[in-house]
Amino acid sequence: MTNNSRDGLNREFSSPSIAQIPRGMLQIALTYYRRTIEHVRVAPDWAAGARAC
């Protein structure tokens, strides 16, 4: 990972935020290579590493 903004070589994820909405899903947001904001919504079971059968 590098933090080289001048040469466009950013390879980091930063400022993570996790919140659980009332229905139980987890909302996760973070900056992606300091260029964009990524947002995902996942089930708590997925975040805990549960496997689907």
Name residue 43's amino acid: A
Per-residue pLDDT band at 29 (split at 50, 70, 90): very high
Report the pLDDT averaged over residues 28-40: 84
Domain residues for the domain of 41 are 1-53
pLDDT of residue 51: 66
Q: How many structural domains is the chain composed of?
A: 1
Q: Is the pTM of this model over 0.85?
A: no
As beta bridge partners, residue 32 has: 13, 36
Residue with tokens 């089930």: 43
Amino acid, res. 16: P
Task: Give residue 25's pLDDT.
Answer: 94
Residue 50 main-chain phi, psi, to 5 deg:
-70, 145
